[in-house]
Amino acid sequence: MQRFSIFSLVRNSLSYHKNWQEHWRSPEPKPEYDVVVIGAGGHGLATAYYLAKEHGVKNVCVLDKGWLGGGNTGRNTTIIRSNYLQDESTAIYELARSLYEGLSHELNYNVMFSPRGLINVCVTEHEMRAFQRIAFANKLAGIESRMISPGEIQKLVPIIDSSSNARYPLLGGLYQPRGGTARHDAIAWGYARGADNLGVDIVQNCAVTGIMRNRGKVVGVQTQKGEIRAKKVAFVVAGNTSVLTDMAGFRVPLESVSLQALVSEPIKPILDVVVMAGTVHGYVSQSDKGELVIGGGADGYNNYAQRGSITQWEHTVRALVEMFPAFGRLKMMRHWGGIVDMTGDRSPIIGMTPVKDLYLNCGWGTGGFKSIPGSGFVFADTIANGRPHPIAAPFGMDRFREGRLIDESSAAGVAH
Amino acid sequence: MLLITCPVCNVTADETEFHCGGEAHIKRPASSDPANVSERAQYEYLYVRNNPRGMHREMWLCSRGCGKWFYAMRDTLTLQFHAFYGITDSPPPLPDGNGTGSGS
Ligand SMILES: Cc1cc2nc3c(=O)[nH]c(=O)nc-3n(C[C@H](O)[C@H](O)[C@H](O)COP(=O)(O)OP(=O)(O)OC[C@H]3O[C@@H](n4cnc5c(N)ncnc54)[C@H](O)[C@@H]3O)c2cc1C
Ligand SMILES: [Zn+2]
C-alpha cells in the first residue's frame, strides 16, 4: 500500500497526482471465504478491517449491492458523541469515540476527525432535568460531559438567539467537549483501503440475493456474481436488514424508515461547535467547505425509497431559523434521505442469530456513524471467537424477548 | 408528501393530517388467551415487524379529520398507496408478484 505522507504528497505533485495507486482493488469474488460480510458501509468495512488486523482472519470478502460507503455511511450528518444515558451505551460509544481520536494515524488516512465540541441545547425544563441526569451518568462512566449555562452557550455559539423573547428560551445545555464530526466518506474509504491492504476482497455492485443454509447453519450466499461459500456470514446492511433476514428465514425487531439531511450553500466560518436541539428536532454543524450540515427527525412511516417527506425538514429548518436567525437568508443546496433501521429501544443489535455462524450488526438507526470504529472492533472479535465480545454482549437480539432493553429512546429524544 | 384518503370520512389530504400507526393486523396474544402468553409471542407482538421492501399493510389515524383508525396497503419502495380500507373490511389481496416479507 502506498503510504500517505508529506513526502509522498510532494513526490506525487511532481507528476500532477496522476500516479497515485488505487486505494483498493476491484477483485472478482473467490468461490469460498472464511467470512463473508454483507454491506460495505462503515460498520461492514470496519468489521473486515479488524478481523484481518486484530484476529488474523484475512480470507474475508465484503459484498455491497452498490458502491462502498453509498448507504447511510455516505449520507449522514457525521455527529460523533458518547454522552448516552445507559452504561452499555456509553461503553460502546466511548470506545468508538476514543478510537476516532487515533483513527487517521491507525489507517494512514485523514478521516478529518474534528472533536470541536458538541452542545445539546435545552429549551424546556424537562430537557434540563433529562440532560442533567445524563451528565451525572456520564460522570459515573468516566466520560467528559457536563451541563453548561446559557452564558457559556452564548460564548461558544455567539449566533444563537439568546434574547429574552426568543421563540425557544435558552435554558442550558449538555456539553461534550470532545464530541464532534469526521468526514463520512473518509471513514468508509480509510477502512476499505486498510482492509484491502490486509488481503480483504471488497466486491462492489454485487447484491446478495439468497442465503445458503444447511441444517440450521449458514454455508454461503447467492449473489449477482454467483454463489460464494462461507464458513461465517455477517449481515451489516442497516435499513436493508429485514430483507436479508427474510432470506435467511428469521424475523427481527426492526422497522426501516427514512431519515433526511440537507446542506446550505457554503459560507464563511460561523459555527465551530455541533449544536443539537432535541425538542425542536434539529441539529447543525458547519463543514470544512463552509456548508451548514443539517439534520432532523425521521419520517413516521416505513420507507425503503431513500427519500422522505418535505414536511420533516421544513419542521427542522423552521426551528433552526428561530434558534439561529442569521440562517434565515441562507439557500439550501441539497437534501437527501437514507434508510435507517429502528429498534424499539433505539439501541443497536450486535451478535448471533438463530442461524448458526450467521452474525448480525444492525439497528444503529439514526445514530450509528459515531459508533463505526467501536462496532467494527467488537463485532470482529465476536465473529472471530464465535461468542459476543463483552461490550457487544448486552446488545444481543434476545434482550427484547428477555425485557432487558437498553433504553435510549426517551433519553435522546432526537435522531442523530 | 403522501396523499391519503380516509375510507371513513372520505377526505383526501396530505400525510400531515394523518398519523401512521405501523404494521396492521398484528394480534395481541393476551386478547385470545390471557393465561397463556409465551415470552416469544409477547416479544413478537411488541417488537417484531414484517418490515418488507415492497407491499406493506399498515394502520393510519385520521388525526385531524374524523379521528378514526383505518388500514392502508402501501409499497414502501415506491411510496404508492394501493388500497385504503376500513377496520372491519378484510385485507385486499396483494398485487401480483409482491410479498410482504415473512410471517404473513
Ligand atoms: C440523514 C442521516 C443522518 C445521520 N446522521 C448521523 C449522525 O449525525 N451521527 C451518527 O452517528 N449517525 C448518523 N446517522 C446514522 C448512520 O448514518 C448509520 O447508523 C450508519 O452509517 C450505518 O452504517 P452501516 O455501515 O451499518 O450501514 P450503511 O452505510 O447503510 O451500509 C450498508 C450497506 O449495505 C449494502 N446492502 C444492503 N443490502 C444489500 C444486499 N442485499 N447485498 C449487498 N449489499 C447490500 C448497502 O448498499 C450499503 O452500502 C445518520 C443517518 C442518516 C440517513
Ligand atoms: Zn377520516
In which band, very low, low, confident or very high, does the pLDDT at B98 lie, cut at 50, 70 and 90? low
In a domain, A280, yes or no: yes
Block residue for cell numbers 383508525: B69
Which ipTM was obtained for this model?
0.93
Q: Is the CB of A259 under 6 A from ligand 1?
A: yes
pLDDT at A410 over 80: no
Q: Is the CB of A64 under 6 A from ligand 1?
A: yes
* Beta-carbon count within 10 A of A358 CB: 22
Query: d(Cα A297, Cα B65) in Å, to the nearest integer?
Result: 24
Residue B104, pLDDT score: 37
Query: d(Cα A270, Cα A276) in Å, to the nearest integer?
Result: 16
pLDDT at A219 over 70: yes
User: How many domains would you assign to chain A?
Assistant: 2
Using one digit for the tens of pLDDT, what is the confidence trace for A297-331?
Answer: 899 999 999 999 999 989 999 999 999 999 999 99
Mutation probe of ligand 1 site: the residue of A38, A76, A211, A283 with most atoms within 8 A of C-beta: A76
Query: Over pLDDT 70: what percentage of chain A?
Result: 98
Q: How far apart are the first and last CA of chain B?
A: 28
Asked whether residue A318 falls in the same domain as residue A360, the answer is no
Residues of A in contact with B2 (CB under 8 A): 301, 309
Asked whether residue A214 falls in the same domain as residue A237, the answer is yes
Q: Which of A308, A342, A376 is the last residue of a domain?
A: A342
Q: Which of A316, A342, A368 is the last residue of a domain?
A: A342
* Coil, helix or strand at residue A275: strand
CATH code for the domain in which residue A59 is found: 3.50.50.60
In Å, how far is A310's CA from the nearest CA of chain B?
A: 6
Asked whether residue A163 falls in the same domain as residue A289, the answer is yes
Residue A281, pLDDT score: 84
Interface test with B, best of A242, A301, A318, A401 (most B CBs within 10 A): A301
In Å, how far is B4's CA from the nearest CA of chain A?
A: 13
Three-state SS annotation for A218-232: EEEEEECCEEEEEEE
Residue B97, pLDDT score: 57
d(CA A78, ligand 1 centre) in Å: 11
Over its C-alpha atoms, chain A yields an Rg (Å, rounded) of: 21
pLDDT at A409 over 70: yes
A242 in Cβ contact with B51 (< 8 Å)? yes
Q: What is the mean pLDDT of residues A40-68?
A: 98
Q: Which of A295, A320, A342 is the last residue of a domain?
A: A342
Please report, for chain B, the start and end positions of each structural domain, with discontinuous segments joined by +.
1-27+42-104
Mutual angle of helices A87-101 and A125-140, in 10-degree steps: 70
In which band, very low, low, confident or very high, does the pLDDT at B102 lie, cut at 50, 70 and 90? very low
Contact call for A253 and B2, based on CB within 8 A: no
Q: φ, ψ for residue A41 (rounded to 5)?
A: -90, -175
CATH code of the region B1-27+42-104: 3.30.2270.10
Range of the domain at A224: 26-114+180-253+344-416
Q: Is the CB of A78 under 6 A from ligand 1?
A: yes
Using one digit for the tens of pLDDT, what is the confidence trace for A249-284?
Answer: 999 999 999 999 999 999 999 999 999 998 888 999
